[in-house]
Amino acid sequence: MTLEGLDDLDQKIIYELQNDARRTSSGMIAEEAGVSASTVRNRIQRLEEQGLISGYHADVEYETAGYQLYTLIICTAPVPRREELAAAALDIPGVVRVTEIMTGEENVHVSAVGEDGDDLSRIGRDLDELGLEVADEDLIRNEYAGAFDGFESDNKDEER
């Protein structure tokens, strides 16, 4: 599905869910859009079935939970195995996110959480045994996310 296949309601739903899926109900979206809540729920279900919306994730403050080290591990994978190795890396205990990069040698980025340096060393060894070459490791202080403004309706621009 492309942006051309999405109408204004689909785009509004996506935008609002990206902003705050936990505190945004189908009723709230429906009220703003002038449609019924069941219409919004049906649209969400369709967007999920089509693979446009693939999940809802909690943002976790790992340090507050007792995990002092949140690390970005930059890896290199052979291009023919990049997708396979990136998917397999997510099964390593402590790995919370894996991003596959299309360009460059450092083409797999692994976010990992640990209580101490021993945890991170084990994760590094596990990534190496998997077939990923660790190129760099960076401690993450904060991470921010927001909604893609391409899904924001034209009406919102007029309201500002």
Q: Give strand pairing partners of 95.
A: 112
Q: Is residue 74 located within the same domain as residue 135?
A: yes
More reliable by pLDDT, 125 or 151: 125
Q: What are phi and psi of 112, to 5 degrees?
A: -135, 155
> How many Cα atoms are found within 13 Å in the side-chain-facing hemisphere of 119?
15
Q: What is the pTM of this model?
A: 0.76
The domain total for the chain is 2
Structural domain contains residue 74: yes
pLDDT at 66 over 70: yes
Q: For residue 78, what are the domain limits?
A: 69-139
| pLDDT exceeds 80 at position 159 | no
> Which residue bears the tokens 């990049």?
82
CATH of the domain at 50: 1.10.10.10
Question: Could you tell me if residue 128 is inside a domain?
Answer: yes
Show the tokens assigned to 47.
């967007």
DSSP SS3 for 61: coil
What own/partner pairs with CB < 8 Å and gap ≥ 24 does 2-8 have? Answer: 3/150, 6/52, 6/151, 8/33, 8/153
What average pLDDT does this structure show over 61-71?
89
Q: How high is the pLDDT of residue 108?
A: 97
In a domain, 63, yes or no: no
Residue 64 lies in a domain: no
Q: Are residues 50 and 75 in the same domain?
A: no
